[in-house]
Amino acid sequence: MTTWKFKNCPRCTGDMFIERDVDGLIERCLLCGYSRDISKPKNIVSTASGTKR
Ligand SMILES: [Zn+2]
């Protein structure tokens, strides 16, 4: 199964897809070939601590 992220490329705003690698998950752009590792999330949003908006 392929997960698509349309117009999400930071370089060319092209369509990206999620690729499963041995290291984890890689986000790859179909148009320019840009790829980045997304298997290690840097921004973990905690919603369980009771912070509400
Ligand atoms: Zn691109």
| Residue 25, domain member (yes or no) | yes
**22 CA → ligand 1 middle, Å:** 22
Q: Does residue 50 lie in a domain region? A: no
More confident residue, 32 or 2: 32
Residue 29 lies in a domain: yes
Percent of the chain with pLDDT over 70: 75
For residue 19, report the distance from its CA to the centre of ligand 1, in Å: 15
- How many domains is the chain built from? 1
Residue 45 resides in a domain? no
pLDDT tens digits along 8-29: 999 999 999 999 888 789 999 9
CA of 35 to the centre of ligand 1 (A): 8
* Helix (H), strand (E) at residue 28: strand 25-29
Measured in Å, residue 11 CA sits from the centre of ligand 1 at: 5
Q: Is residue 21 part of a domain?
A: yes
**Is residue 51 included in any domain, yes or no?**
no
Q: The domain containing residue 16 runs over which residues?
A: 3-37
- The answer to whether 16 and 8 have CB atoms below 8 angstroms apart is yes
Give residue 28 CA to ligand 1 midpoint distance, Å: 8
